[in-house]
Amino acid sequence: MPLLHHIDYPPSKKTMDFSSLNTMSPHRFGLIAFDFDGTLADSYAWLVAALNQLAPQYGFRSVSPADEPELRQLGASAILRRLELRFWKRPLVLRALRQRMAQDIAQISLFPGVAELLDVLATGPAPLAIASSNARENIAQVLGTARLVHFERLECGIGLGGKAARLRALRRRYRLAPGELLYIGDEIRDLQAARAAGAASGAVTWGYNHPDALQAQRPDYLFHQPSDIARQLGLELR
């Protein structure tokens, strides 16, 4: 689960040339998996407030607006070190965030264009999955019944550093060769997990990490808006 609220960044020169990246075959992938927070759901405005409310209880630094530009260049572990959140407290804070989100779930919504993207991807040849640190109940509430049915598999409640293992499990379940699973996320750790699991990586620039930080990880695909994902898969939004 990301740590800061959403900021719209203009595409930089390093990320502007979408045509320079790989072009997907619509039949290349045996499974397309998504991160949730920051990729499908715009939960950051809620999340930064929740973190700052939890900071006194768990003894870590709160996040100020002045901190955000620097923090958005960093991976999750580096951010937690900057916030001085002790290692043994991290699972406790993550659990507390999931519980708070369940109470405030009406404040969380999908990013514009994501619902339409999921409707179109559901008509394509590859099944869909989610691999997220968020709770299954929260994800189901935000997606709603109409979009939840598009997903064949939900891997939820993943601890920090646990995504690569879940992605490898998905590859085994679907009997996918290296590169036949596409994992799309908004954080450095999403791209690192995809690489460690032998999956292709897709980065979205509308989420947590700055586009330059994502580009530095050399993702296989870079997307500036949801329609880019459909278009690169040979599909068009209705």
Which residues are paired to 221 by β-bridges?
202
- Same domain flag for 200 and 147: yes
Provide the domain limits for residue 58.
Answer: 44-106
- Same domain flag for 216 and 151: yes
Listed residues 85, 106, 127: the one ending a domain: 106
Find the largest Cα–Cα distance for the chain: 50
Judge whether 148 lies within some domain: yes
Judge whether 95 lies within some domain: yes
Kindly name the residue from 17, 35, 119, 190 that is annotated as catalytic.
35
Q: What is the pLDDT of residues 99-158, one digit of tens each?
A: 888 888 888 999 999 999 999 999 999 999 999 988 899 999 999 999 999 999 999 987
**Residue 42 known to be catalytic:** no
- Same domain flag for 30 and 50: no
> How many independent structural domains does the chain possess?
2
- Same domain flag for 95 and 193: no
Q: Supply the pTM of this predicted model.
A: 0.83
Picking from 159, 226, 171, 232, the residue whose alpha carbon sits closest to that of residue 199 is 171
Residues of the chain above pLDDT 70, percent: 83
Structure tokens, 145: 């019944």
d(CA 23, CA 139): 30
- Same domain flag for 88 and 183: no
- Same domain flag for 139 and 220: yes
Judge whether 62 lies within some domain: yes
Average pLDDT over residues 162-172: 94
Listed residues 81, 106, 131: the one ending a domain: 106
Listed residues 58, 76, 106: the one ending a domain: 106
Considering 7-16, 26-35, 185-194, the range whose residues carry the highest mean pLDDT is: 185-194
Which residues are paired to 31 by β-bridges?
181
Average pLDDT over residues 195-203: 96
- Same domain flag for 61 and 145: no
- Same domain flag for 206 and 216: yes
Higher local confidence (pLDDT), 98 or 31: 31
- Same domain flag for 72 and 176: no
Judge whether 88 lies within some domain: yes
pLDDT at 26 over 90: no
d(CA 127, CA 219): 21
- Same domain flag for 73 and 171: no
pLDDT given at position 49: 84
Judge whether 10 lies within some domain: no
Domain containing residue 39: CATH number: 3.40.50.1000
- Same domain flag for 97 and 125: no
